[in-house]
Structure 1
Amino acid sequence: MSLAESWDRYAVGSKPRRIVNAKGDTTWLNWTQYADHGPDESVLGPVAGRRVLELGSGSGSNLAHLVTLGATGQGVDIAPARKTVARERWGDLPGLEFHTAEATVFLNETDERFDVVLSIFGPVWFVDPATLLPLIRSRMAPGGILAFSHLPPAGQGPKPEAGLRHDRTPDEWSHILTGHGFSDVRVSLIDPPEGRAVGTLLVRALAA
């Protein structure tokens, strides 16, 4: 079974995101594995007028939220089923495109530059950073923002069968990102909601 087929099987079996959140919002950004928990899009600063790329865009809900705030967005996911769902739900939004591709293939083939790149439990967690980060940096505008989240190292939680995780400590991420042309690296641990044991690691860096 290919990597794309494995992720497609995982995507088909995943639970769809709710239509509205606890506040009644129809679009929102969620960095963590818990509904209605953690910081919002303010991690990225103002997004209106900015070109946003999401690696591992899934059903497109996080990216669609940024587009409703004035960004233009491109989402990339390796699973064909993800693009189908994303287009069904968000296809009427102008300035939003979805692609089926492996992240490194897309980054090698595109000639666009992005002001914001995000990956929420996406390829930054599953692709060797020595391969992925230089490609991301090459497609970013100077001063652009890279932000991503995943489980903390040694955290317990669901592990997709489609690939190996590249867990890194905060210090390791800081060192790796700095070595690949990023600056002002900020790594934080988002505490889990009450009654849950595993938090979320959130990383933000600037394209130097």
Structure 2
Amino acid sequence: MEIAEAWERYAQGRAPRRELNAFGARTWLNWTQYPDHGPDESILGDLRGRTVLELGCGTGCNLAHLSTLGAICTGVDIAPSQRGKAVTRWGHLPGLTFQTAEVTDYLTHTAGPFDVVLSLFGPVWFTDPEQLLPLIRQRLSAGGVLAFSHRPPADGMKQVGNLREAKAVTRWEHSPEQWAAFLASAGFSDSKAEILPPPEGKDTGTLLVRAYA
């Protein structure tokens, strides 16, 4: 599968996340492309006992943090090596499992439901929203939340270029207004899309979107 092979090549070139962040924490949630920047998990509300699915979980660092807060977490990633890395680093934590799958296939064949679905610079950025968003909506529990982040659109383009490391993968880049329309069409409500400003000295912010089932 060309896309899976592309993401596997990308995964092989990624350095592991630091053992500690700037505040000395061993686990944390990072919404943006910059370390120690942006909001934390509190924008999702109380996570104790809630089921969380992360699409494109990579090595599981974000989910590991949520599991320490009492969430029951499942991570899905298309690159086969990512599951092994995630299990090696975080397999000792309770309520945390990892799967290797393409996200639309996983969402089509898993029963769910999930209280929270996350995509942090993940498949929501790289999958046709008219295909992916309805599948996510079907797997969310009543009142559940979808939250995702990626870079803002470049020059207003909806789809821009390919990943340098994964030439088979197209980015689906949309403005906050375009995302609101896609989410409403897929049956979501109360969506909020905003562009977080970058840290000092950086030029590019981060698009952060939340919507509710």
TM-score, reference length from structure 1: 0.96
How many angstroms does 1:197 deviate by?
Answer: 0.5
| % identical equivalent positions | 59
Residue 191, structure 1, aligned to residue 197, structure 2: yes
- Say whether residues 1:200 and 2:206 are aligned partners: yes
Separation of aligned partners in 2, 1:118 and 1:80: 20
Match of residue 126 from structure 1: 126
Name the aligned partner's letter for residue 55 of structure 1: L
State the partner residue of 1:56: 56
- What corresponds to 1:108 in structure 2? 108
**1:74 corresponding residue in structure 2:** 74
Q: Quote the offset at 1:94 in angstroms.
A: 1.1
Deviation at 1:2, TM superposition (A): 1.4
- Counterpart CA distance in 2 for 1:44 and 1:112 is 19
Residue 164 of structure 1 is aligned with which of 166, 170, 177? 170
Runs of 4 or more above 2 Å deviation: 158-162
Distance 1:81 1:18 in 2: 19
User: Which amino acid is the alignment partner of residue 171 of structure 1?
Assistant: E
For 1:84 and 1:199, the matched residues in 2 are separated by 32
Distance in structure 1 (CA, Å) of the matches to 2:186 and 2:125: 16
| Counterpart pick for 2:181 among 170, 175, 184 | 175
TM-score, normalized by length of structure 2?
0.94
What whole-Å deviation, never above 9, does each CA across 1:32-60 have from its counterpart, x for those lacking one?
00000000001211111100000000010
Unaligned 5+ runs, structure 2: none
- Mapped to 1, the partners of 2:2 and 2:180 lie a distance apart of 32
Unmatched tracts of structure 1, length 5 or more: none
> What do the CA deviations read for 1:34-88 (whole angstroms, capped 9, x no partner)?
0000000012111111000000000100011001000000000000111111000
Report the Cα distance in structure 2 between the residues aligned to 1:43 and 1:58, rounded to whole angstroms: 22
Aligned partner of residue 142 in structure 1, secondary structure = strand
Write out per-residue CA displacement over residues 134-188 of structure 1, whole angstroms, 9 at most, x where no aligned residue: 11011110100000000000079x9342410000101000111011110000011
Amino acid aligned to 1:87: V
> Which amino acid letter does the alignment assign opposite residue 194 of structure 2?
S
Q: What CA distance in whole angstroms lies between the structure 2 residues aligned with 1:109 and 1:176?
A: 23
**For residues 10 and 150 of structure 1, what CA distance do their matches in structure 2 show?**
17
2:65 equivalent in structure 1: 65
Q: Distance in 2 between matches of 1:124 and 1:22?
A: 28
Structure 2: how far apart are the matches of 1:45 and 1:165? 29
1:136 aligns with 2:136: yes
